[in-house]
Amino acid sequence: MYFILGSQLIWGIAGPLVKIILETIPPFSLMYLRFLFASIILFLIYELKLVHQTPVATSDDRKNIFLAGFFGVFLNIFFYFWAQTMTTVTDAWVIASTGTLFVVGLSYFWLGVRLSIIVYLGVGLAFLGTLTVMGSSITQFGKGGFLGNFLMLLAVFSGAISFFYTKKVINKFSALTLTFWWFLIGLIFSFPLFLWDYFKNPGWMTQIKLSDLGILTYIVLGSSIGAYYLSNLGLKTLSPSLAATLGYTSSIIAIGLSILFLGERPTHFFLVGSVFIIIGLFLAETRHPGHPIHKLLRK
């Protein structure tokens, strides 16, 4: 659990930092640079023999590793960076907190996990809250754009899908091995988008400041290598749904920092939607033995 919490702390801090650096570096270029430098560093780690011998991968292993990397790294970061150019950090990370709901739903369809009525009620309330946050921009009460919020929802959904493919290979391969392959997959798929960004705006490289390099270093070492490595370690012992539950941590950190340092202020629609999401997530998580409701019943 502590590994997952550590990864969520790193990702939460990265939330407002990504928003800042996107003012200089285009989203797809930032994504490519993240994949590029992370892949180089992980490759050097392998060359120095700092990772134990990788077991032979079967065709199913290769398929699961690819799908986990494609959905959980490439598509997740692709939609997230793109979304951050059109919405606020607070909107984006409130929507990110609903990732548990997607994991709950996918657990039902993929694993046959049956849900109680109270869980369905919680899922429904959280979904209503998400629609409120997303739709607030349409009625001009919200700060984030509808398209940006929708892209963030796609990022959350793709991340939820990757949990299940990751769970199939996490106990066979080292966390660092999976992180390396995932970022290599992201590097390959993001290269055409990097070229598109470059031809669209070839002068962005001359505008990079020293502070941007500092943020990029944190994104590569922290929210890329460090956070994904810790997340993979955590998934070795936690179920996908419980691991997703701990994702609330990053949302709280990112929203708090954006209010403090970016001057973002929640709107009335945002607050109403957030209340629905919080109540819905609380109800939806009653299936976990560690939930407050179960603790009260055991007393």
Indicate if the pLDDT at residue 269 is higher than 70.
Answer: no
Least Cα distance to 126 among 158, 94, 149, 150 occurs for: 94
**What is the per-residue pLDDT across 220-241, written as a single tens digit (0 to 9) for each?**
999 989 888 888 777 776 655 5
pLDDT digit string, tens, across residues 165-191? 988 898 888 888 898 999 999 999 999
Q: What is the pLDDT of residues 193-220, one digit of tens each?
A: 999 999 998 889 999 999 999 999 999 9
Residue closest to 76 by CA, chosen among 2, 12, 156: 156
Residue 149 in contact with residue 134, Cβ under 8 Å?
Answer: yes
Higher pLDDT, 91 or 61: 61
Neighbours of 66 (CB within 10 A): 14
Average pLDDT over residues 252-263: 75
Any idea what DSSP says for residue 51?
A: S
CA distances, 262 to each of 210, 256, 265, 285 (Å): 19, 10, 9, 31
| Spatial CB neighbours of 108, under 8 Å, sequence gap ≥ 6 | 114, 115
Q: What angle do CA 138, 142, 143 make, to 5 degrees?
A: 120
Closest CA to 67 of 145, 202, 161, 201: 161
Residue 136 CA to residue 144 CA, distance in Å, equals 8
**For position 139, what pLDDT does the model report?**
42
Phi and psi for 107 in degrees, rounded to 5?
A: -65, -35
E-only strand ranges, 30-101: none
Q: Helix crossing, 146-169 with 227-235: angle to 10°?
A: 50
The pLDDT value given to residue 6: 84
Determine the Cα–Cα distance for residues 101 and 112; give it in Å rounded to an integer: 15
CB contact at 8 A, 122 and 281 = yes
pTM given for the model? 0.79
> Could you give the CA distance from residue 251 to residue 159 in angstroms, rounded to a whole number?
15
Contact status, residue 48 vs residue 193, Cβ threshold 8 Å: no
The mean predicted confidence, pLDDT, of the chain is 79
